[in-house]
A and B are shown apart, each in its own frame.
Chain A
Amino acid sequence: MRPVLEVSGLSQDFGGLRALSDLDLRVDANEIVALIGPNGAGKTTFFNCVTGIYTPTEGQMFLYDADDGKHLLNGKKPHVITAMGMARTFQNIRLFSDMTVLENVMVGRHCRTRAGIWGALSRDGHTRREEQESIDISYALLESLHLQNLWNEKARNLSYGAQRRLEIARALATEPRMLLLDEPAAGMNPQETHELEILVRGIRDARNLSILLIEHDMSMVMSLSDRIYVMEYGSCIAMGKPEEVRANPRVIKAYLGESDA
């Protein structure tokens, strides 16, 4: 398989605290990989390192482009990493809440469009075409996430589930090769979770991208993922197909505590 994201020996220290230690992880093309583990295991920290919000203490992170070119992510700024093809959602939803649903997605188009201040002021043909295109692409994305009826609502007025889907639409607008979802099903009921699962799989199939997700809903993780990484105290304690991970004694121990399971 061709890799899309490759991380080796990743460590992150905060003062004396080691939040990630010597983590290796790889996501292949078209794969859905889950990152699970108890709270505080370092999953979100991992996302923050890969997306350039934190600068890792040690280790290397690479993103592959469509021609299998290998690009180092270390030291790159978040917006550069997004432009390289990595997009994410946030655990504690970070939408642009005073902007409309459509505008939220259009912001995601920023790194794929060019118009600058002069274009804005003169509104020349090129700028207008680009803008219309961006509107239409954004609307199409909203349709694919069943949000089209809400396109002119303010993001803050959306239901919880709709906000989570809008975050995904916004991330997809940046045309990622690698999509990171941070607890996409958090706060959803089983019905919504099931719909989300179908949606996520559909996105992978239709858009030819790889997905790495953090999730606590085990039934969703088990049925959706091709592979699972299990983290505890900042390191990876197990990796494999869902059925392998489910049977792994260390994982059971990490989840169920110190009892002799």
Chain B
Amino acid sequence: MRRILKAVLTAIWFMALTLPVMGIKLNTLDQTVQWRFDRILWLGAGVFALAVIWDWCFSRKARGLPLLRLPKGWGAGLRNLSGRPHLKTGGLAILTLFMLVMPLTSSFYQTNIMISALLYVMLALGLNIVVGLAGQLVLGYVAFYAVGAYAYGLLYQFLGWGFWACLPVGGILAVLFGLALGFPVLRLRGDYLAIVTLGFGEIVRLALQNWTSLTGGPRGISDIPRPGFFGLEMDINASTTYVYYLVLAAVVITIIMISRLKNSRVGLALQALREDEIACEAMGIDITRVKLSAFALGSCWAGFAGVIFAAKTTYINPSSFTFMESAMILSMVVLGGMGSIAGVVIAAMILILAPEYLRAFSEYRMLIFGAIMVIMMIFRPQGLISGERRRYRISALHGAHNGGRA
């Protein structure tokens, strides 16, 4: 009862709060006011429902219970399913098949959407190295994406270089930018680092926008060629399909590389840095090197993705590289779970595909992205998928029994 009363009061509070911005619509031309009380009422109802849920989530969180409890038997069943290797391989095989056949059976439009979703997967995985593994909150990630894209655009425009020549150059240039940013910010605390990288990202965008003689300013660069395939002439459909496979391959390679990295000596050092910088240093880890490696690796992927992006859209301008873009990629990492590869892949897919296919959502896309960041931090900071643990084979235990709870 108290809970209901509290929710009613919350609803009233929010109705009053949103009264001007939601409730009033001015028509500046003919000087009339349109009151939209219906919206306020709907909002009140929505807030009431949310307040009840919010409160309930909190009480569960306070008692240390999981937010969602699966019906009896389901939990065990699911664990059983994921524990079975052949089911896992089966699922992966179906997914692989789907991803491979997808461009052949879908429309040009859908293939294009999938390409951009995959590009975001790549970006999110790259950012996941820096934010998720190394714990360095970088808010200007899109700058490295821009470096890659403009590297291809400019090298093509001025020197006539092709896609394949530009791909490594884009990656290397992005790494150089990453190191250029990484060096001065080594000593910075977490929140200051976030702001400095944000400023860096904005400076890169502003430079692209204002250096008209080189970058074309706000108009950007157009007519960038799609990637070639041994000089084969392709129509737009064929080349889109080709780009699709290219991005898919890039994503697969990224996943393999990053999961190897995560489980390596360097990966452990990155995670130790995230957990506790001082202890990390005291364990004999050169945090300067580790931080710079994180920056270099993360920006490298953004650079590659940028080159592919330029080739996919054939047209780039600074407005593709705003802070909102960085924030979107960050919300994928946050939703997926810091450091979790599967989680980030799933989150990037959901966040890009859902607004495209659920038209009702597309308008609210950024609103939802913002809300996700807040809600995840409060109720599930570890992200959708957490506790992805590596299995270690311990020689001393091997053969004797299956050790610990591996």
Contact = CB atoms under 8 A, between A and B. Distances in A.
Contacts of A94: 276, 278-279, 282
B395 interface: yes
Interface in B359-398: 389, 392-397
Nearest to A47: B282
A107 B393 contact: no
B298 to A, nearest CB: 12
Contacts of A100: 389
Contact of A136 (B268, B283, B297, B396): B396
B395 A152 contact: no
Given A99-B271, A120-B260, A152-B405, A115 B396 contact: no
A121 interface: yes
Contacts, number: 132
A96 B271 contact: yes
B159 interface: no
Interface residues of A, number: 53
A54 B269 CA distance: 22
B105 to A, nearest CB: 34
Interface in B6-53: none
A110 B285 contact: yes
A135 B283 contact: no
A136 B394 contact: yes
Contacts of A153: 405
Given A96-B272, A107-B280, A121 B261 contact: yes
A113 B271 CA distance: 17
Interface residues of B, number: 37
A127 B280 CA distance: 22
Contacts of A99: 268, 271-272, 275
Given A110-B265, A140-B396, A117 B286 contact: no
B265 A131 contact: yes
A40 B389 CA distance: 41
B284 A117 contact: no
Interface stretch (A19-27, A62-70, A78-86, A250-258): A78-86
B395 A120 contact: no
B293 interface: yes
A54 B261 CA distance: 32
A152 B404 CA distance: 6
Nearest to B278: A94
| Chain B interface mostly | helix
Contacts of B358: none
Nearest to A174: B284
Contacts of A111: 283-285
Contacts of B260: 120-121, 123
A71 interface: no
A159 to B, nearest CB: 17
A82 B284 contact: yes
A48 to B, nearest CB: 10
Interface string B296-318: 01000000000000000000000
Nearest to B267: A120
A123 B263 CA distance: 11
A135 B393 contact: yes
A115 B269 CA distance: 12
A209 interface: no
A149 to B, nearest CB: 7
Contacts of B282: 51, 53, 78-79, 82, 87-88, 90, 94
Contacts of A170: 283
A116 to B, nearest CB: 7
A82 B395 CA distance: 27
Nearest to A167: B279
A100 B271 CA distance: 11
A96 B275 contact: yes
A106 interface: yes
Interface in A114-133: 115-117, 119-121, 123, 127, 130-132
Given A100-B389, A110-B269, A139-B394, A79 B284 contact: yes
Contacts of B169: none
Contacts of A233: none
Given A87-B283, A123-B260, A174-B283, 17 more contacts: A53-B281, A79-B282, A82-B281, A94-B282, A95-B275, A98-B271, A107-B269, A110-B284, A115-B265, A120-B264, A120-B267, A132-B395, A136-B394, A143-B396, A151-B404, A152-B404, A152-B406
Interface of B: 257, 260-261, 264-269, 271-272, 274-276, 278-287, 293, 297, 389, 392-397, 403-406
Interface of A: 51, 53, 77-79, 82-83, 87-88, 90, 94-100, 102-103, 106-113, 115-117, 119-121, 123, 127, 130-132, 134-136, 139-140, 143, 149-153, 170-171, 173-174
8 contacts: A95-B275, A110-B269, A123-B260, A151-B403, A152-B392, A153-B405, A174-B283, A174-B284
